Amino acid sequence: MSSKSQPKTVVVGLSGGVDSSVSALLLKEQGYRVIGLFMKNWDEDEHCPATLDYEDVVSVCDQIGIPHYSVNFTKEYWDSVFSEFLDGMKKGLTPNPDVLCNREIKFKVLLDKAMELGADYLATGHYCRTGPCHELLRGLDPNKDQSYFLYTIKDKILDKVMFPIGHLPKSEVRRIADEKGLVVSKKKDSTGICFIGKRDFKTFMNKYIPYTSGSFERLSGEVVGRHDGTPFYTIGQRRGLGIGGPGEAWFVVGKDCERNVVYVEQGEDHPALLSHSLIATEVTWVKDQIPALPLRCSAKIRYRQKDHACTITSMNEEKIVVEFDEPQRAITPWQSVVFYQGEECLGGAMIVRSGPTLHQVQGALHCAV
């Protein structure tokens, strides 16, 4: 930045973690006028220590030499994120609250608050980047790239957003924090769903939704065990099933919520887990200009998965079909499928269901013989 120009103001969303802290530090060193803003999104208890995180935010801001504020978005988070998460869980689906939080909280109400404070930009500690025409680009660290969670963010919003560490590997972010003596330099990364924290997922969810035990069944109808409630299980899940016996490990391959049945089969690559296609809805594109379909690109169906070549076609006004060149494992309803062309994240959609699995295809071929 030119020393003669009036410094731009950047509000940094601070979580009390190392990524957002280093983001604020780098912006301050680049000559921006930086303000730290801490969000409280959940009513605090012993499992959600917002007070401790805020203390870290205060310490970091004091070290860097920037002002800080705290805002309470618990009502907005409940109404726009947690309620939708609960609705999906009641239906036996597997919603992704991180995508909802970015869309409804961080890049809506937090952005609005930043603008109220007179900011020119909002900055966050996400590992992603923006292009010269407000494209959403992958973070350069492939193990930390978070563009998957940001596909709902429009280019007109990205015009007001900065990702100061998107060009850095995580190891360099840690090194900078340690070199500058930030109090959070050794703080562990947060994992899992933010509002659940360290508590047991089933115990937490039972406070809001009563679940009923049911049967684990093979696709043949054979009962092989009991489950705690269909919403606790997701396609491709291995851990926590409690099904013993000889042979390969058991995996969830499907659910029938009306019958309260979770289908399981043995083998990580069982044909019932593999499908060449999916149907998705709630399609959103980062750019206002919607690409012409059919579209050749690549896509991923979960975070940290490598994206795979695919073709997107239109099913109707509300849904698309994504056909992959290679079969995909454990396509899960109400998770996101996110589209890429090279480094650019084009957008994404919510998965409604997978296409025919290889198990179904093989069964149809067997019946035809």
Q: Which residues are known to be catalytic? A: 101, 194
Pairing of strands 121-123, 295-300: unpaired
How many angstroms separate the CA atoms of 232 and 226, rounded?
12
Give DSSP secondary structure letters for 196-231: TTTS-HHHHHTTTS----EEEE-TTS-EEEEES-GG
Q: Torsion angle of alpha carbons 165, 171, 175, 176, nearest 10°?
A: 0
Task: Give the residues across from 315 on adjacent strands.
Answer: none
Task: Give phi and psi for 4, each to the nearest 5.
Answer: -85, -20
Angle at 65 between CA 62 and CA 68, to 5 degrees: 65
Give DSSP secondary structure letters for 39-97: EE-S---TTS-HHHHHHHHHHHHHHHT--EEEEE-HHHHIIIIIHHHHHHHHTT----H
Q: State whether residue 255 is helix, strand or coil.
A: strand
DSSP 288: S
How many angstroms separate the CA atoms of 220 and 238, rounded?
19
Angle at 127 between CA 205 and CA 176, to 5 degrees: 115
Contact 30, 140 (CB under 8 A): no
Give the ranges where the chain is alpha helix by DSSP (H). Answer: 18-29, 50-64, 74-77, 83-90, 97-101, 110-116, 155-158, 170-179, 201-205, 358-368
CA 175 vs. chain centroid, Å, equals 26
Neighbours of 44 (CB within 10 A): 14
Ramachandran bin of 325, using left for φ above 0, alpha for ψ from -120 to 50, beta for the remaining angles? alpha
